[in-house]
Structure formats: C-alpha cells, structure tokens
Amino acid sequence: MKNKRIAILGAGGLGVCTALELANRGYTVDVYEENNAPVKKASYVQEGKIHLGLIYAMDRDFHTAKEMINGALHFISYLKRWVEINPEDIISTPFHYGVHTGSLMSPEEVSAHYQRCSDYFAEARKHFKKDYLDLFESLEVSRLANSQIGDIANPEYMSAVFQTTEYAVEPRIISKKLTEAIDSHPNINLFLNTKVTAVSEQGNSLKVHFLRDSKEDSESYSEVINATWNGLLAIDKTMGIEPPQKWSHRYKFGNKIFIPLKADDLPSLTIVQGPFGDTVNFKDRGLFMSWYPVGRTGWSEDYRAPEWDSQYSEEERMEVFEKSLAKIALRIPKLSKLKFEPKDISPVGGVIYAHGNKDVDSAESKLHTRSEVGMRSFGNYHTVNTGKYTIIPLLAVTIANQITGKSLN
C-alpha cells in the first residue's frame, strides 16, 4: 500500500497537514501548489480564531458548533504531530462577543447558544480527553454588566457584551512552521508555481494535468486529494463532480498591524450576529482587524473565483484598510488610540469558499453554518471542503485514516 502514489492538490493549511500526516506514516506524497510558497493564502491571512462554536448561533441545529468544538479540542495536539509549537507563545487575548444593535439575534438568544456551547464543550472534552489548545479545561462565558460595556466597546452600538475563554492563534507563525516541516520532509515532493488544470481517469489510476513554466504536463497517481480552495470546484468539474449545493466565493480583507500591544490596549472582540467585524489582540505580535461591510470586496458564484489578489493596487488595499478602520473604531474606541505607521500595516485579503449564496446579512444564509464539511470520495478521487481553519488538523488526520484504511491516534 505504501508504494502507491498519492497527489495532494493545494498546499494550504489542509493540504500541508494531510501531506505531513501521510508522509509520517511512510507514504510518498506529491503536493501541487499554484503559488510560489505553501500556506500563504486563506490559512495565512485570516484571524486564526480556534472556534468554540460561539459565532455559529444562527445554526439552530447546533451541528456547526459541535464541528468546531471537536476540531478545536484536537487543534494543538494534532498540530504537534507535525511541528513543535508552544500554544502559550501564539495565542491572543481571550475573546469578547459584542451583540450589535440590529443583530440577527438578541442577547438572550445568543446567551442561550453560548450556554449550549459550554455544555457540549464539557461533554466533548470528557470524551476526547483533550484540553482546548492544550491549556484550557472549560469554556466559560459570562455577560458583562451594562456599566462594563464601555470598557470593551461603544455602548451606542452594542446591546450586550460577553466575556469568553475562546482564543485565536497567530496563523502566520503556524504557517512558517508548517512550511519548514513540508520543505524538509523526505517523503514529500512540493511542486510550487504549478497550476492543476484537470484530473482525469486512466484505467485504475488518475492523471493530474498541470501547467508549469507555461508548459502542460501530467502525472499519474493511485490516489488524488483535492485540497484546493478557490480551485476546488473547477477541478472537481473536470472529473464530472458537481458541488452538493449552491455555493459562493468571497474575497475578504483581514488587515494586520504589526505593533506590540499590551492586553489592555485592545480587546479581542467579535461583533455578532450578522455582517460586522472583529479585532484580535496578539500582544507582542500585533493585531488583526476586519470590518465585513467594507472588507468583503469580492463575490463570485463561478466554479473558480477570480484572481482577486492581483486586482488590487497597494493604494486600493490601503483604502480598504482605512475605511475598515474608521468603521470598526466607532465600535471599538481603543483602536483610535493606537499609534502606527504605514509600514506597520499589512492590508491582505483571502478567498473564502462556502456553501450558500446569500450573504451573512440574511438570517436564511447558509454562510452561518459550517457543518457540511470534510471529504467526499469518488473512487480514488477525493475532494475536500475544509470549512474552517479550526478543524484543519483533525480533518487532516481523518483524511489520512480514510486513505490508508488505518486509524493512528
């Protein structure tokens, strides 16, 4: 079995973690990436929150919250299968949740959901025998008194604020460690600047067609795992595979400001429930900031998202940053007090693929859920909807178990 050739399409977070898991089990893996470096897109430019289901209160069936909590409990312990990492060095300050005026849910509704998340966390932790981020034994959520809201956010915009023990990790540090791991692994061949255009059946094997140095070429494999993101549906289509439901690609800015912060300088705050934004305080490593109504600049329902990254000049990116900052600083006044220079700002964006083609300002939007994720297999071709950063390590091990037919814990 270990002599069979395995190809992974896409060297994002999921593709790299899956490759490392298979390689550690003795398999040789070829990884194809159309960009010039691994783990530099969606798994690099986002806020890095390791979700405990809190933001997915609109999923009344609670499936998404369970998916996130299960993934979160495995995140660091499974990541340690492939890299050395100390979670205390990369976590943010704990998150607050602010219920915005005009929210799709009332403070009482989200409070009931948060209690449900806390209860399920306790069940899942007991079942898996794992701590959150290898540090925390419980999910604590408490509502601040109205007199305390002003310490975190502008009361003119918030009807309630909750304090939680949910955290983010700095994704750029994890990206660096995963890149070093895949670059040095003897069982992994990484092909950068190589765009996969199609996959076709060839007897009992699969042929991966790709474009490299403006030349078309192909290689045959026993198993192919499509772990791309904005290319997922287009490659699936070449195999005659359609998405299970309506979908959308979005381009969202996740701005970073690289200035050292103290814990009290800025809250880590997610504003709910709808098209709002968040801030993340990574202490010495700076902060993340996004405001969805300004920062969600692209929307596509094509099989492949446009090449949004190349469509924005530096001036246009700074304009998105400045407009986002102005809007979210009205809600989080401490943002206005921070001092930084243009050189400290990284106004980057990334593609988000998700089921659903109504935006998050609609209560009926499928974008409020992330439970229909994971791998679909069609013979020896496997296509993966990653869903969220939180579940990547658990999903990578699950995929490796299914590919190899053996579970290694």
- In CATH terms, the superfamily for domain 66-168+247-371 is D-Amino Acid Oxidase, subunit A, domain 2 (3.30.9.10)
- What pLDDT sits at residue 371? 87
Q: Is 167 left (phi over 0), alpha (psi -120 to 50) or beta?
A: beta
3-state secondary structure of 142: strand
How much is the pLDDT for 308? 95
Q: What pLDDT score does 259 carry? A: 98
CA distance 103 to 115: 19
- Domain extents in the chain: 1-48+170-244+372-409, 66-168+247-371
8 Å CB contact between 158 and 149: yes
The answer to whether the 1-48+170-244+372-409 and 66-168+247-371 domains have the same CATH topology is no
Q: What is the pTM of this model?
A: 0.96
Q: What single-letter DSSP state applies at residue 172? A: H
Are 43 and 275 in contact, with CB atoms under 8 Å apart?
no
**Whole-number Cα distances in Å, 199 to 39, 109, 328, 383:** 22, 46, 44, 11
Q: Which residues contact 28 (CB under 8 A, 6 or more apart)?
A: 2, 5, 6, 187, 188, 189
Strand 29-32 with 188-191, pairing: parallel
Q: What pLDDT does residue 96 have? A: 98
**Tens digit of each residue's pLDDT, the chain (409 residues):** 567 899 999 999 999 999 999 999 999 999 999 999 999 999 999 999 999 999 999 999 999 999 999 999 999 999 999 999 999 999 999 999 999 999 999 999 999 999 999 999 999 999 999 999 999 999 999 999 999 999 999 999 999 999 999 999 999 999 999 999 999 999 999 999 999 999 999 999 999 999 999 999 999 999 999 999 989 999 999 999 999 999 999 999 999 999 999 999 999 999 999 999 999 999 999 999 999 999 999 999 999 999 999 999 999 999 999 999 999 999 999 999 999 999 999 999 999 999 999 999 999 999 999 888 999 999 999 999 999 999 999 999 999 999 998 755 4
Give pLDDT, residue 407: 59
pLDDT of 209 reads 98
Tokens read off for 124: 């899942």
From its phi and psi, is residue 387 left (phi > 0), alpha (psi between -120 and 50) or beta? left
Order of strands, edge to edge, in the sheet holding 223-226?
A: 188-191, 29-32, 6-9, 223-226, 381-385, 374-378
Q: In degrees rounded to 5, what are phi and psi of residue 259?
A: -130, 145
Helix boundaries (H) for 164-313: 171-184, 232-238, 292-295
CATH assignment of 1-48+170-244+372-409, among 3.30.70.141, 3.50.50.60, 3.10.310.30, 3.40.630.10: 3.50.50.60
Q: Report d(CA 187, CA 406) in Å as an integer.
A: 19
| pLDDT given at position 1 | 59
Residue 268 tokens, joined: 């880590």
Side chain identity at 256, as an amino acid letter? K
Burial 188-204 (b: 16+ CB within 10 A, else e): bebbeebebeebeeeee
